[in-house]
Amino acid sequence: MEPRLIDVAQSCLDAAQTGALTFPEIVATLMREGFESYAIDFRRACATYYRADGDSVVLPIAPHGPVAERFETAAIKAAILEAQTQAPGYTYAGFCDKVTAAGCAGYVVSFPGRRAVYSGRTAEAHIEHFPR
């Protein structure tokens, strides 16, 4: 992947961590640059950004502790709602801590599909459609 696009992916990842950009702003930035999805893998502590042409880049993320064995959909939905509403005290790091404690091993965000799929260690899943 060309260095400029790697920089875009890294800047979006950094902006999520610092709260400099919201999720919709990050999605818009990535889409504008030709990305079609990204995946967060909490067990490997990495984020993979994918382009429609098949190119991708893997970037490290901060570790968020072990992924709980039990997939707790209600707790994951609650963390997602906090993110969507930018609840007081919300941080992306806190979100990651909450979903891993609720058994989320990772998630994939699809821009053309307008959804995120959260999955657990046993392949249980929760699909969250983008708000309209």
In this prediction the pTM is: 0.94
> Phi and psi (nearest 5°) for 27?
-60, -45
Residues in Cβ contact with 33 at an 8 Å cutoff, skipping those fewer than 6 apart? 5, 8
Q: Is the pLDDT of residue 17 over 80?
A: yes
Is-contact 73 126, C-beta < 8 A? yes
Domains of the chain by range and CATH?
3-129 (3.30.1810.10)
Q: Quote the CA–CA distance of 88 and 102 in Å, as a whole number.
A: 21
> In terms of DSSP H, where are the helices of 53-91?
73-85
Model confidence pLDDT, tens digit, residues 29-82: 999 999 999 999 999 999 999 999 999 999 999 998 899 999 999 999 999 999
3-state DSSP call for residue 121? coil
